[in-house]
Each structure stands twice: as C-alpha cells, then as structure tokens.
Amino acid sequence: IRDSFKTVFSNCVIEHLDELDACFREAYRVLAPGGKFYCTTHSDHYEDYFFWATLLGKIGLGSLGRKYSRIWVKLWNHFNCFPGEKWEQTLINAGFSTAQATPYFSREAVHAFDLLLPFASITYLTRKLTGKWRLFPRSLTMEPAAWFIHRMTEKGKPGDWCYLLEATK
C-alpha cells in the first residue's frame, strides 16, 4: 500500500509511542506524493498547566505539584511531549517536505480538564465496582461538565498545551 493514501490522521497517539521515528516513517511510506499527515499531540508544556500543580506551586508546594503532574504523565504513558520545533524537525527527518506545529488548548482549558479529572476517576471506580460506565443520566453528568468546560474556555485565548501537526509528503 505504498504511496496509497491522500491523508493519514492520528489523534492523541504519538505521545505514547516508543518508536516515534518508525511511526512517522510509516505514515510517510503509505502517503501518496503530495499527501498530508495530520496528528494531534502534547507539547513540552504538558506538565506545566495542570490546575492542581499550578495551585500547589502558588501556595509554596511546587515539589508536590510537580509530583502530581508526573503521576498523570506516568499513568497515561506520555513519552513524547516536545516543543513545536522538535516535532517539526522530527517530521522533516522522517522525509516529509514540510512540517508545521500549530499550538492549541489554552491554560484555562487545561485547568478545566484537570478540575474534572477526579470525576473521571469516580466513573472509572464505578465501572470497576458495577460493570457500568454510567450510573446517572448524561443530563446529570456530561451536560454540567460541558457547560463548565465551555465557561472555562470561552475566552478564546490561544493555547500551547497541544499541537496539531501537519506534514506534506
């Protein structure tokens, strides 16, 4: 299937891969000439923007905040959280003719995400105990969460917690 696809897309996967170069080379291999590779991933600010880590740092408990952030990095197996320039260079090294890292996801959005993580943990626990992901209707769980995230992120501030990577063969 060499040179077969016009587009290859990956959403929040590459930060978990040990063999990052092999992944990019394979995306390049299967793309047709002029084809595009798109993926989303985390930036080098991944550990910096968690709400609880930020709050702990502001009250003089920065080392505890850093431990909190590292717990999530370890739990989610994030190996690759780089600055945009390194992402672009890695894509170029894999053979792509152009590469661009466009940042998104603001600090406020990360704070909203982090504030809701305890609720996700509760859901995971109920799944383990009852075998069900949801014990309550979406109107009592997801709708308030969506409202909260919207309120926290509606400022429209640019962010740099994640990147949309775009590369051309």
What pLDDT does 46 receive? 85
CA–CA separation, 45 vs 109, rounded Å? 13
What pLDDT does 153 receive? 61
What pLDDT does 61 receive? 96
C-alpha dihedral, 65 to 56 to 123 to 41, nearest 10°: -50
How far lies 29's CA from each of 98, 100, 134, in Å? 15, 19, 42
Q: How far is Cα of residue 35 from the mean position of the Cα atoms in its chain? A: 24
* Number of residues assigned to the chain: 169
What pLDDT does 152 receive? 66
**% pLDDT > 90, the chain:** 51
CA–CA separation, 144 vs 53, rounded Å? 24
**Each residue of 47-75: pLDDT tens digit?**
888 999 999 999 999 999 999 998 988 88
What pTM value is reported for the model? 0.79
| Averaged pLDDT in 10-residue chunks for the chain of 169 residues | 93 92 95 97 89 94 93 88 96 97 86 80 82 79 76 67 94
Three-class DSSP labels, the chain: CCCCEEEEEEECCHHHCCCHHHHHHHHHHHEEEEEEEEEEEEECCCCCCCHHHHHHHHCCCHHHHHHHHHHHHHHCCCCCCECHHHHHHHHHHCCCCEEEEEEECCHHHHHHHHHHHHHHHHHHHHHHHHCCCCCCCHHHHHHHHHHHHHHHHCCCCCCCCEEEEEEEC
What pLDDT does 83 receive? 95
What pLDDT does 155 receive? 60
What pLDDT does 121 receive? 75
